[in-house]
Amino acid sequence: MMDTDTIKGIYGKAGVIRRGHRAQKGVFQGILNEKVKSNGIVLLGEISGRHPTVSHLLMEHPDYRKSCWKIIHSEQNSNKSYTRIKEGTKIYIHESDLGLFWDHDTENASEKTVIEPDSFSEKFMQAVKRNVGMEYDQVNCYELIIQGLRQLGYRYGGYGGLKETLMNMALERGESINTYLTGEGLIEVSGSGQYVKKMNNFSDYEKDTDEIFNEILPHIQPGQILSFSTPSQGHTGIISGKEGMWTYVNSGILDHDLRSSALKKGVGEESLTLEILNWVRLAARKNEPLVLTLGHLDEKKLEKYKIVPWEA
């Protein structure tokens, strides 16, 4: 989850939330007419452009919309390959234990469509994940990203280091010297593929989370940096995956650590959707806009900082 004592909030003009997941008239009735089979299995619907994820189908179902995320992250469902479901797949749920399932032949056939990380992003992700289990006092959220770069042999501090570039950029723009010592700053000077999602209005936390997740979903790749920012605080970490679920490797308060570790504050791997939900709640309660910045580090842009690992 988030820990906010080192990152300055960076945000632009507040965006207006886009609403687009309301069911068309008759959709619910059509589901209800065919939903229950004799063995207690409910057909939730079919993955499509309008319903690109399982959460979309759950959110539009009158019996399951309020418990959507509890169902998805329950013990029996949390390890399922949600990122590999092909369009046209029918999604079902057991009425008794709320277990989700679908046509696994279709799922297996769609594995070839999964976006794989490039070799550098894979190396970076693995370097960051080697720090899982460290205490927060040893490495905070921003330092975790820097630790990954150092372990790959890139100079951060000192003359000619990446930190110097970030600080000089701030001075040139007349801003505080530490302004760009953030995930957003790293993406700007040494990354590419930046995608920014801004939200200003919040109504239903789970629906807002669903909207954010499904809007950024086409842009997500393992090894990317994802930063959350409000005017008062921020947080950063990297995108990863575990047992078919998108995850978030970060250093902070660990509300949903997938390792079931006793560590409560430090480096862990959590559900990406639940981390987004945490930030939606935080921004809404403080009545602040929320900005998500997603991008990956570019090996070519980092080349000038490359050194032998022990000098990092």
Cβ-in-10-Å burial (0-12, 13-18, 19+) of 61 comes to buried
Report pLDDT for 295.
Answer: 94
pLDDT tens for 55-95 read: 888 988 888 888 888 898 888 787 777 777 877 888 888 88
Q: Which residues contact 98 (CB under 8 A, 6 or more apart)?
A: 64, 67, 71, 74, 76, 77
Least confident of 68-72, 108-112, 151-155, 226-230: 108-112
**Higher per-residue confidence, 2 vs 274:** 274
Prediction pTM value: 0.66
Mean pLDDT of 165-176: 96
Q: Which residue reads 């981390």 in tokens? A: 275
pLDDT tens for 8-30 read: 444 333 333 333 333 333 333 33
Q: How far apart are CA 219 and CA 132, in angstroms?
A: 25
Task: Report helix, strand or coil for 55.
Answer: helix
Q: Which two tokens stand for residue 19?
A: 């609403």
**Percent of the chain whose predicted confidence (pLDDT) is above 70:** 79
The mean pLDDT value of the chain amounts to 80
Q: Which residues contact 110 (CB under 8 A, 6 or more apart)?
A: 84, 85, 86, 89
pLDDT tens for 230-265 read: 999 999 999 998 767 789 999 999 887 877 667 789
Report pLDDT for 73.
Answer: 85
**What ranges do the domains of the chain cover?**
27-113, 119-311
Mean pLDDT of 197-203: 90
Q: How far apart are CA 16 and CA 296, in angstroms?
A: 25
pLDDT confidence band for 199 (50 / 70 / 90): very high
Least confident of 107-116, 117-126, 301-310: 107-116
Report pLDDT for 257.
Answer: 81
Report pLDDT for 3.
Answer: 52
Q: Is the pLDDT of residue 177 over 70?
A: yes
Report pLDDT for 2.
Answer: 56
Mean pLDDT of 204-223: 88
Q: Is the pLDDT of residue 304 over 70?
A: yes
DSSP 74: S
